[in-house]
Amino acid sequence: MAAKTAGAQLEERWRDILAVHARTLGEIDRALNPYGLGASDFEVLDLLATAPHGGGEPCRVQNLVGRVHLSQSALSRLIARLERDGLLERTLCLEDRRGVYVALTDKGRALHAEALPVQRAALARALGE
């Protein structure tokens, strides 16, 4: 049998990565469903909770765009929903009216803390750790 071409090997590695990603997101979504969260919801809460000073300071939405794997419009909708659910709050940047900051509320911080071990266990299961 002929050896795989470099292109075929690269494509196979890419498909393996996509399969791990899909399996991991599915596992996290199932685990977090009882908390009313999905994987992307939790990711935003987690990024805010682990921001400098333990999430006590607001984070500029623009800083989340590159870290959450959603389009800017999808992230905006997610933030609006999390705000509606009382998990975070948005404020405008006084120096730059285009800038928007988000920060966890006490409710968001509590839900993150409660769901964190569940998310980490799902992550470990999916990644075989």
Buried b (16+ CB within 10 A) or exposed e, 83-112: eeeebbeeeeeeeeeeebbbbbeeebbebb
Encode the chain (129 residues) as per-residue pLDDT tens digits.
Answer: 556 798 999 999 999 999 999 999 999 999 999 999 999 999 999 999 987 655 566 788 888 888 888 988 999 999 999 999 999 999 887 776 677 889 999 999 999 999 999 999 999 999 986
Residue 82's pLDDT is what? Answer: 97
Structure token pair of residue 123: 């992550």
Burial class, 29, CB count within 10 angstroms (exposed 0-12 / middle 13-18 / buried 19+) = middle
What Cα–Cα distance (Å) separates residue 108 from each residue in 17, 19, 36, 38, 102?
31, 31, 12, 14, 12
Q: Domains in the chain, ordered, with CATH? A: 6-127 (1.10.10.10)
